[in-house]
């Protein structure tokens, strides 16, 4: 085990292929069916011994990420240290490639990465089930960041089952100028749907069949997100972004999670490059990223356990 060095974990962003949101529960969370899909936009989380808990945030998506104990990565380290009965005396370094407050689980990725990195640095060797339990305590999307791939999340999104999926999908992500607060988007969805009887959320058969077939055209048609009207209500510019994706030749597009990032599916890598150019030229987003999915969940890329 590495005791004096550092451990770096790479963690993917997610898009939601389906996000079916039921009624608010007594605990304030909403009952969900969330089909998570890990894409090749990453954060690198490095944990190294230090005299006290410190957080440093760098990278092209560092703006707006707190470098203190409110950071979800710091909370992950504190939670694990508490479980192990030790000091959380580490430097947590985040290299951000996932946009903050973008609906792509960037904060959750950092929590998952910090959990795995600190576990390796401290030689704790927690079982996968224990890591998943701590992850769920930190946030609804954190377990998926550990698992990666394509998975169905039930409950508040934390109860995961791998989806039967094949193939490889080409994505174009349109990043927005301003982030959206996840609780605010859920609250807006509640407001927009007030008085309606909400059906129990169910996995989309159409979507599951498209994933089993590895068919991007069918998958694009099946993308759905119950939070999209709420995200677009709070960020009306999203209508123009979604339209620009359609005009640029996307097979389909959807707001990811609570937004405001829009995820567009392309037929192949060449079509995705063209779509990325068209979206950038449209002026309807701050930045455009190319990505593919599914990719693996959090994994140690430097340091960690050695034979
Ligand atoms: O679990 P997490 O802390 O990531 O959730 C952030 C916020 O998103 C919650 O405080 C809640 O407002 C909202 N949320 C929800 N229902 C879920 C997941 C999240 O209402 N299933």
Catalytically annotated residues: 14, 141
Ligand 1 geometric centre to CA of 182 (Å)? 7
| Residue 1 among known ligand-binding residues | no
Which residues, 6+ apart, have CB-to-CB distance to 194 below 8 Å? none
Of the candidates 268, 44, 264, 298, the one whose C-alpha atom is nearest the C-alpha of residue 168 is 268
Per-chain mean pLDDT for the chain: 96
Structural contact between residues 72 and 56, judged by C-beta atoms closer than 8 angstroms: no
CA distance 80 to 1: 17
Give the residue whose CA is nearest to atom 10 of ligand 1. Answer: 183
Give the residue whose CA is nearest to atom 3 of ligand 1. Answer: 139
Ligand 1 geometric centre to CA of 183 (Å)? 6
How big is the chain, counted in residues? 307
The single-letter DSSP state of residue 105 is -
pLDDT score for 2: 44
Q: Enumerate the domain spans of the chain.
A: 7-163, 169-293
> Between β-strands 54-58 and 159-162, what pairing exists: parallel, antiparallel or unpaired?
unpaired
Ligand 1 geometric centre to CA of 157 (Å)? 9
Global confidence as pTM: 0.96
Query: CB within 6 Å of ligand 1 — which residues?
Result: 29-30, 32, 139-141, 156-157, 182-183, 186
pLDDT score for 305: 58
Which residue stretches of the chain have pLDDT < 50?
1-3, 306-307
- Rounded to the nearest angstrom, the gap between the alpha carbon of residue 172 and the centroid of all alpha carbons in its chain is 15
CA distance 177 to 287: 8
Structural contact between residues 212 and 150, judged by C-beta atoms closer than 8 angstroms: no
CATH number of this structure's domain 7-163: 3.30.230.10
| Residue 34 among known ligand-binding residues | no
Structural contact between residues 119 and 84, judged by C-beta atoms closer than 8 angstroms: no
CA distance 100 to 96: 9
Ligand 1 atom closest to the Cα of residue 155 is: 21
Structural contact between residues 255 and 103, judged by C-beta atoms closer than 8 angstroms: yes
ipTM: 0.97
CATH number of this structure's domain 169-293: 3.30.70.890
Report the residue among 16, 140, 143 best suited for mutation to probe ligand 1: largest number of ligand atoms under 8 A from its CB.
Answer: 140
């Amino acid at each position: 085990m590495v005791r004096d060095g550092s451990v770096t974990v790479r963690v993917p962003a997610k898009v939601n292929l389906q996000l079916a949101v039921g009624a608010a529960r007594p605990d304030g969370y909403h009952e969900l069916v969330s089909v998570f899909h890990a894409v090749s936009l990453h954060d690198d989380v490095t944990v190294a011994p230090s005299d006290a808990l410190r957080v440093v945030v760098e990278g092209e998506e560092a703006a707006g990420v707190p470098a203190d104990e409110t950071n979800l990565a710091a909370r992950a380290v504190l939670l694990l240290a508490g479980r192990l009965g030790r000091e959380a005396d580490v430097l947590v370094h985040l290299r951000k490639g996932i946009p903050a407050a973008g609906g792509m689980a960037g904060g959750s990725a950092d929590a998952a990465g910090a959990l795995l990195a600190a576990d390796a640095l401290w030689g704790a060797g927690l079982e996968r089930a224990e890591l998943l339990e701590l992850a769920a305590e930190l946030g609804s999307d954190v377990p998926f960041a550990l698992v990666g791939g394509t998975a169905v999340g039930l409950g508040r999104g934390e109860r995961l089952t791998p989806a039967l999926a094949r193939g490889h999908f080409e994505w174009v992500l349109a990043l927005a100028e301003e982030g959206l607060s996840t609780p605010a988007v859920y609250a807006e969805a509640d407001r927009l749907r007030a008085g309606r009887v909400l059906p129990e959320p169910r996995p989309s058969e159409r979507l599951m069949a498209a994933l089993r077939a590895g068919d991007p055209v069918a998958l694009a048609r099946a993308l759905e997100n119950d939070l999209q009207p709420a995200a677009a209500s709070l960020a009306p510019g999203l209508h123009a972004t979604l339209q620009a994706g359609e005009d640029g030749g996307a097979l389909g597009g959807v707001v990811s999670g609570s937004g405001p990032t829009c995820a567009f599916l392309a037929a192949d890598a060449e079509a995705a490059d063209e779509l990325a150019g068209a979206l950038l030229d449209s002026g309807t987003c701050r930045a455009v990223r190319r990505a593919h999915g599914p990719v693996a969940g959090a994994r140690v890329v430097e340091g960690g356990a050695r034979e």
